[in-house]
């Protein structure tokens, strides 16, 4: 998608130096566009851990390219394989909830295991990371194609009046490689002239919605309004939300969805008000090994600093400001789990299904 009129994917090989992978340091959005060079697997791990990059598909892709960078540093033979295994472990320790991370690492290591020598490892790693990124972008594009029909149907029922869609956090193209997951149907509807308006949850504590989703929509010309996280229920009670669409970081085989903290509360409000609640789910984010999301999905806890401070723009620079008593402790749960019973449907690259084992396996059994 585009930033300041220029098309980007969120991660790419440096044109001048194939030993460098480039991405955005998303901590600077929406105030600045800062490209970040990744020169080592450790650079990639830190970028994930400190959320320079974030979003399940983006985390997976960054780890994949991080392993490519590791092959550039790895020696020949068994020592080189041991080096790559250590790099994979380092990447696995970055963030626990988004399953794309683990899927991508495993895909890379499976591809690398049979490589004959260092040169083949490097070639295979880059080819596999590129393939993963391409697959992710296509998954998102197809989520847009399938999700578009839901938006179109609501638009027709409203005789062309704007479809009011609420979304939480950033499940946009900046959380992915391109298109986004929750935003893909929005972009396709807008591009096809279907009027939409997006309620954008600011999404405390890091405000991925107010900072990044709002930036994406503004850059694409999509009408939107930033709201506080607690406003969604009120809007739904007053008929101001036609549908909710969110992303996911891990979805279990029975359709339980881990997503940014606060998603569960949106789903409760939607259920109580008869508002359709959809989850945009690329298969890279499916974890068919898990069933009960509430029990089995690991929920990341991040630093209390993210709760006690805000980061904003002042005097031409990003400033960090304390917003609570310095001495007060804070808890920072990064995600919550929305039970399948609260979800209207899952929008996947293979079509739309119910949030159930039958629905998911109907699309993804093979």
Ligand X SMILES: CSC[C@H]1O[C@H](OP(=O)(O)O)[C@H](O)[C@@H]1O
CA distance 345 to 245: 10
How many other CB atoms are found less than 10 A from the CB of residue 187? 24
Considering only the stretches 53-61, 67-75, 79-87, 356-364, report the one whose residues sit in contact with ligand X under the rule CB under 6 A: 53-61
Question: Using CB under 6 A as the criterion, what x/- string covers residues 306-335 for binding ligand X?
Answer: ----------------------------x-
Q: Does 171 bind ligand X (CB under 6 A)?
A: yes
14 versus 296: smaller Cβ distance to ligand X: 296
CA distance 302 to 140: 28
CB 340 within 8 A of CB 255: yes
Residues in 56-85 at the binding interface with ligand X, rule: CB under 6 A: 56-57
Q: Does 207 bind ligand X (CB under 6 A)?
A: no
Catalytic residue at 191? Answer: no
Tell me if 55 is assigned to a ligand binding site: yes
Specify the 3-state DSSP secondary structure of 3: strand
67 versus 279: smaller Cβ distance to ligand X: 279
Q: Does 209 bind ligand X (CB under 6 A)?
A: no
Tell me if 158 is assigned to a ligand binding site: no
Specify the 3-state DSSP secondary structure of 77: helix
CA distance 170 to 207: 9
The pair of three-digit structure tokens given for residue 342, joined into one six-digit string:
């609260």
Q: Does 202 bind ligand X (CB under 6 A)?
A: no
Size of the site for ligand X (CB under 6 A): 16
Catalytic residue among 100, 249, 287, 336: 249
Q: Does 175 bind ligand X (CB under 6 A)?
A: yes
Phi, psi (degrees; rounded to nearest 5) at 34: -115, 115
Q: Does 181 bind ligand X (CB under 6 A)?
A: yes
Tell me if 54 is assigned to a ligand binding site: yes
CA distance 359 to 185: 20
Specify the 3-state DSSP secondary structure of 129: helix
Tell me if 157 is assigned to a ligand binding site: no
Bond into 325 cis (ω within 30): no
Binding region for substrate: 54-56, 95, 208, 259-260
Contact set with ligand X (CB under 6 A): 54-57, 169, 171, 175-176, 181, 208, 246-247, 249, 259-260, 334
């Amino acid at each position: 998608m585009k930033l300041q009129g220029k098309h980007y994917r969120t991660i790419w090989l440096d044109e001048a130096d194939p030993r460098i992978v480039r991405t955005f340091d998303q901590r600077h959005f929406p105030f600045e566009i800062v490209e970040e060079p990744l020169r080592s697997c450790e650079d990639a791990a830190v970028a994930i851990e400190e959320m320079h990059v974030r979003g399940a598909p983006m985390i997976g892709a960054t780890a994949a390219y991080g392993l490519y960078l590791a092959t550039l540093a790895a020696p020949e033979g068994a020592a080189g394989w041991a080096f790559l295994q250590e790099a994979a472990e380092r990447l696995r320790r970055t963030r626990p909830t988004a399953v794309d991370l683990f899927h991508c690492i495993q895909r890379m290591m499976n591809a690398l295991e049979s490589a004959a020598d260092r040169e083949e490892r490097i070639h295979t790693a880059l080819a596999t990371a590129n393939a993963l990124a391409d697959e992710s972008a296509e998954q998102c594009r197809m989520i847009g194609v399938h999700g578009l029909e839901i938006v179109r149907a609501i638009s027709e029922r409203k005789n062309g009046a704007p479809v009011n869609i609420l979304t939480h956090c950033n499940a946009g193209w900046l959380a992915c490689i391109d298109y986004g997951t929750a935003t893909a149907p929005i972009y396709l509807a807008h591009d096809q002239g279907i009027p939409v308006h997006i309620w954008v949850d600011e999404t405390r504590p890091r405000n991925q919605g107010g900072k990044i989703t709002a930036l994406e929509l503004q850059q694409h010309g999509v009408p939107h309004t930033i709201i506080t996280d607690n406003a969604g229920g009120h809007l739904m009670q007053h008929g101001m939300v036609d549908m909710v669409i969110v992303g996911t970081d891990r979805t279990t085989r029975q359709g339980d969805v881990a997503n940014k903290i606060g998603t569960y509360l949106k789903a409760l409000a939607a259920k109580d008000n008869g508002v359709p609640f959809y989850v945009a789910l690329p298969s890279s984010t499916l974890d068919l090994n898990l069933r009960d999301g509430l029990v089995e999905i690991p929920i990341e806890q991040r630093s209390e600093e993210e709760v006690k401070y805000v980061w904003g723009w002042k005097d031409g620079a990003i400033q960090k400001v304390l917003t609570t008593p310095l001495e007060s402790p804070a808890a920072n749960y990064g995600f919550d789990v929305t039970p399948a019973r609260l979800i209207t449907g899952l929008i996947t690259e293979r079509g739309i299904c119910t949030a159930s084992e039958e629905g998911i396996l109907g699309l993804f059994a093979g």
